Chains A and B, each alone.
Chain A
Amino acid sequence: MYEFNYRRASSVFDAVSSSDQSGDASYLAGGMTLIPVLKFRLAAPSDVIDLADLGELKGIRTENGAVAIGAMTTHAEVAGSAEVRQAIPALADLAESIGDPQVRNRGTIGGSIANADPAADYPAAVVGLGATVHTNSRTIGADDFFTAMFETALEPGELVTAVSFPVPDRAAYMKFPNPASRYAIVGVMVSQSGDGVRVAVTGAGGRVFRVAEMEQALAANFVPEAVAGISVSAEGLNEDLHASPEYRAHLVTVMARRAVAAAG
C-alpha cells in the first residue's frame, strides 16, 4: 500500500469538506473493496476519510411504503434485519448472498453502490427495485445512478448517505455466483409493484442493466414462462475465465425465469 493520511470524519459535513480540501481523497466505508484495491496499489489517494463514526449513516427505517437503509449499514445488518425480511425479503436474501460472513460483517451498502463493481449484487437491488439514492446534496434515481463499469453519477466528493427502496408487491433475486468469490457471474432482480415490473441484471455487462422486453412480457403475465423465450444479445457482455458472453447471455434468461418463479 502507498502511504496516505488517515482521518475519521466526525460528521457528513466534516467528511465532505475534508474531501473537498484534499481534492484526492477516498471515503472508507467497510473497506472490503477499498483496502484490497490499496493493497494492490491500484489506487493511491492522498487521504483516506473513514466514515465509521457517522452514526447518522447507519440504520434501517421503514416509512411511507419504503425501506430506507443508511449508507454505512452492513450487509450482515441488512440480511439480519427483521424489518427488511418482512418488507422486502428479496433484499435480505440478496444481502445474505454477498461474499462471506466476514465480508458481510464489514461491507456496507453505500460502499458497494459507490464502487459500482459490475459483478456486485446491490446494483441489481437498486435498479431492480427502483430505489432512490440519497447523497449529501441530492437524490439520484436508480436508473441514473450507475453510469459505467465502476462509474456512477456521483460527483467528486459527493457522499452516499442512504438508499431508499420502495416496497414492491413481489420480488426475488437469483444469481449464478462465482463459486469462489460469490460475486455474481449473472444476478437478476425481478420486481412487480404499482409502478410496473423491473428486471435488472448484474454481473453480465459493464454495469447493471434492465431488460425491457422481459419487463413488458411480465407486465402482461407475471409467470416464469413469460421470460423463458426472451434472450439478451451476447454482444458487449463481460468475458473472463469464468464465463463467455454467450454463456452469460444464456444465464440472464435462466436467472430471470428462476427469479420470477421465486417471486411467485
Chain B
Amino acid sequence: MTLMVTMTLNGESVSAEVEGRTLLVQLIRDHFRLTGTHVGCDTSQCGACVVHMNGQSVKSCTVLAVQADGAQVSTIESLAENGELHPMQQAFKDNHGLQCGFCTPGMVMSALDLVANNPDPSEAEIRDWLEGNLCRCTGYHNIVKSIAAGAQAMRS
C-alpha cells in the first residue's frame, strides 16, 4: 500500500508516494536527493540524520515519512544562502569543528535547535545537548567551541 505524503521541505511544497514503512531519511535522501542528511547508526543513537520537523530537531531515521505528512521539514541544505554559509556552519569551519564531516550536518541541525531555545548556551549546556550526536573524530572539544561561536555570531 502506498500513501501520498505532502510536506514543506526547505521552504518548498513537495509530494511523494511512499510506503508506510518508508523512513523520513529515506524519503529525503533517496527520493528528494538531499544527501546532506546522513545515515550513521540507523538506530537513533548517532544523530547524523538530525533534521528539523515543525521547528524541532528529530532523528529522521526514526520517523516514518508518513508521520511528516503536513509538516515543515528542514535539512542542512536549507541553511546556506546564495553560496554563503550559515553562521553556525561558518563557526564549525572556523573552529575546526569537524574532521571527516560525517556527523556535521546532524551536529549543526541539533545545535540550531539548542540555540533557538537558548541563544547563549553555556559549555555544560552545549555538552549536555549533544547527548544524541556522536562524533568519532574530534573528541567534541572543537564542536563545543564551534557551537558557542555560532551562537554568538547569531546573536550579533
Contact = CB atoms under 8 A, between A and B. Distances in A.
A102 B21 contact: no
Interface stretch (A29-37, A113-121, A192-200, A250-258): A29-37
Contacts, number: 74
SS class of chain B's interface: helix, strand, loop or mixed? Answer: mixed
Interface stretch (B63-71, B79-87, B89-97): B63-71
A101 B114 contact: yes
Given A1-B21, A36-B44, A101 B62 contact: no
Contacts of B19: 3
A105 B58 contact: yes
Given A101-B129, A180-B45, A3 B21 contact: yes
Interface in A1-52: 1-6, 8, 28, 31-32, 35-36, 38-39, 48, 50, 52
Which of B57, B64, B113, B133 has the most chain A CB atoms closer than 10 A to its own CB?
A: B64
A11 B47 CA distance: 33
B21 A101 contact: no
Contact of B57 (A31, A36, A39, A102): A102
B20 A31 contact: no
A20 B63 CA distance: 25
A28 B62 CA distance: 12
Interface of B: 1, 3, 19-21, 23, 42-45, 47, 50, 56-59, 62-64, 66-67, 69, 110, 113-114, 129, 131-133
9 A-B pairs closest in CB distance: A100-B132, A6-B20, A100-B131, A1-B21, A105-B56, A102-B59, A35-B62, A102-B132, A6-B66
7 contacts: A2-B21, A31-B67, A35-B44, A39-B43, A100-B132, A102-B58, A106-B59
Interface of A: 1-6, 8, 28, 31-32, 35-36, 38-39, 48, 50, 52, 76, 99-103, 105-106, 180-182
